[in-house]
Structure 1
């Protein structure tokens, strides 16, 4: 994979995906979008990869969509309304690919996470930040509504009224406030941010990745799914687990009082 707009690395069983357009504060253009999606697909299909760290190069996470970089490139001309819709549906693949990725995703935010960059960060399972992080839903400043899943994730994290306040004011949210609101789960020194995220991710090296992935998909739907449906999904997952080789070996070790396959991880944050 080209080390241009996105850098893809393997560190042990962890994939580290770095947005790499520091001259544009890692703004997302068509190239970085496609490379990001390709990286996520690689992670999903590679059984040796157990977790993901998503970060940005050059002191910032992501300044949003690159509005000067031809984000509509490749979309056929047509009715303006439908053109705008098609462009956004195309770009929404960023957030849905991460939200649906059946492996733990930790986002490390340094500097600005603005607009689509804010949305992208919240598509991860966990977010840690450096002390100079700034999260900004700046859409109203340019006359647009929030996109790339932000209107789905933000109210679930901070509540409806606070989400409206963040969107309506388009204000900067510093790292300490983001921590208090639950937008990020930890604030760590900037020079330890990447290393800390990788250490957190590596705690899942011996976890039953397929089980965590299925549990992630189910829990991601917990706010809009009724109780009976959730119970059915839980039962289906347990049924699959009981027939799996990982569960069989884990149970054998449990009853034999041997070291577990996955003893569990220490507290992440």
Structure 2
């Protein structure tokens, strides 16, 4: 039980913005510092009583009200100051760190985030929600948001450093991804084999690099995504496309908001849809970047984030025994940009059955034709992929897919959706029902492991 009387003090008065950024920044810093002092007087999150939790929630709510009021007035000038008047391309993680340094209290400090990273999800203060408020405000701004989206469509430094190696060897093996050139196709194979090719922080970073390499190599005309052979006991020796987000890592607090939950959407997923921006000069998009068609090859299943990837691809080949699903209702989180993209492929009714009702779509179901182009036996997958590569290598394909993207998902439509997604997803990852579900899953897995160890 917390006994410090300061924690029971009345709520802090949220400062009214004056419209002057210097004054408002000082007031915000003072307000957040006062809230942090009261938070520090409380026990650690796991040891808090219900009363302590209510006090902490009220303190966070007051601080967030102050941040939102500040951002409502000053988002564009904050972004301009952090990017030297939008003359510098500052990637999302660096942007958030710069905001913490330049505007104390606006987002958590690196030290606060480091402390959070040492806790399981249920043991954190939920400071990623504060990062999400900032990111959402930036994305909501037509000027700042568009600049950030375009910044994240530039090649990563890691990919640029590896490009010569890839061109020389036609192959780069990353921790969890293999990328190689075969003729005019760039094959990206998920190799998070012990985890059913589920997405974790390493895989997201590796995919960002791999997609960049395929798009940067001018010998490649088509990209191919496929899951590698896995080591998981239930599917050992089989290819699996993807099991979606790694829920154990979510429970353990190892799914970062900036680098994973938001960075994935602004990074390699958006690059597959829109291509890379390689020229900072103004002009038509097609003059400033490079885009290529992408093929997905679904073996066994594409769950959650795996199915989300299919929604930005140009051709999907599925093994006839496979299935796809977006188990958002079961997991309790928002399925990336699946809510934005699924409806235009399947129609609203089927999209609601999948997202809200957890419906699985098997490759042989009639409705699968809305997501998969070819459904073939396992032994014909390679041939079907090669056929699709040949078809999509035609010179006019890249230009026409670009125009389809302009018509179906304009950049500002994507940006506005992502602004809402950022805040909604951050809140969901700390929602009590989600924390309870991932904890129960973890305990059940540990129980099964213990039972397996005791069996003769």
**What is the TM-score with the length of structure 1 in the denominator?**
0.72
* Deviation for aligned residue 1:167: 0.9
* Distance of 1:191 and 1:156 partners within structure 2: 31
Deviations 1:15-37 (A, max 9, x none): 11111123211001111111111
- Does residue 8 (structure 1) correspond to residue 182 (structure 2)? The answer is no
* Distance of 1:140 and 1:219 partners within structure 2: 30
Q: Relative to structure 1, is the Cα distance of residues 51 and 114 closer, same or farther in structure 2, using a 3 angstrom cutoff?
A: same
Aligned 1:3-152 pairs, distance under 5 A: 3-58=174-229, 59-69=239-249, 73=254, 75=256, 84=257, 87-92=260-265, 93-101=267-275, 102-147=291-336, 149-152=337-340
Report SS of the residue matched to 1:152.
helix
Q: Relative to structure 1, is the Cα distance of residues 172 and 180 closer, same or farther in structure 2, using a 3 angstrom cutoff?
A: closer
Q: Relative to structure 1, is the Cα distance of residues 181 and 168 closer, same or farther in structure 2, using a 3 angstrom cutoff?
A: farther
- Residue aligning to 1:156: 344
Aligned 1:198-217 pairs, distance under 5 A: 198-205=386-393, 207-208=394-395, 211-217=396-402
Q: Relative to structure 1, is the Cα distance of residues 171 and 204 closer, same or farther in structure 2, using a 3 angstrom cutoff?
A: closer
- Asked which structure has the greater CA Rg, the reply is 2
- Residue aligning to 1:252: none
Deviations 1:190-215 (A, max 9, x none): 1221332133213344x32xx53232
- Residue aligning to 1:192: 380
* Distance of 1:27 and 1:94 partners within structure 2: 16
* Deviation for aligned residue 1:4: 3.6
* Deviation for aligned residue 1:217: 2.1
Which protein, 1 or 2, shows the higher relative CO under an 8 Å CA cutoff with sep ≥ 6? 1
Larger mean Cα displacement after TM superposition, 173-182 or 12-21: 173-182
Deviations 1:174-203 (A, max 9, x none): 101265441101101112213321332133
- Residue aligning to 1:245: none
For the aligned residues, what is the CA RMSD?
2.3
* Distance of 2:173 and 2:387 partners within structure 1: 25
Which runs of at least 4 in structure 1 moved beyond 2 Å after TM superposition? 1-4, 67-75, 84-87, 178-181, 202-205, 211-215
* Distance of 2:382 and 2:344 partners within structure 1: 26
The structure where strand makes up a greater share of residues is: 1
Report SS of the residue matched to 1:170.
coil
What residue ranges of structure 1 are gaps of 5+ in the alignment?
A: 76-83, 226-269
Larger mean Cα displacement after TM superposition, 48-57 or 172-181: 172-181
The structure where helix makes up a greater share of residues is: 2
* Deviation for aligned residue 1:152: 2.1
- Contact kept? 2:342, 2:351, Cα under 8 Å: yes
Deviations 1:29-85 (A, max 9, x none): 11111111111111111111011111101221000012323696495xxxxxxxx47
* Deviation for aligned residue 1:146: 1.9
* Deviation for aligned residue 1:223: 3.6
Q: Relative to structure 1, is the Cα distance of residues 28 and 86 closer, same or farther in structure 2, using a 3 angstrom cutoff?
A: closer
- Does residue 218 (structure 1) correspond to residue 406 (structure 2)? The answer is no
Q: Which one of 166, 186, 189 corresponds to residue 354 of structure 2?
A: 166
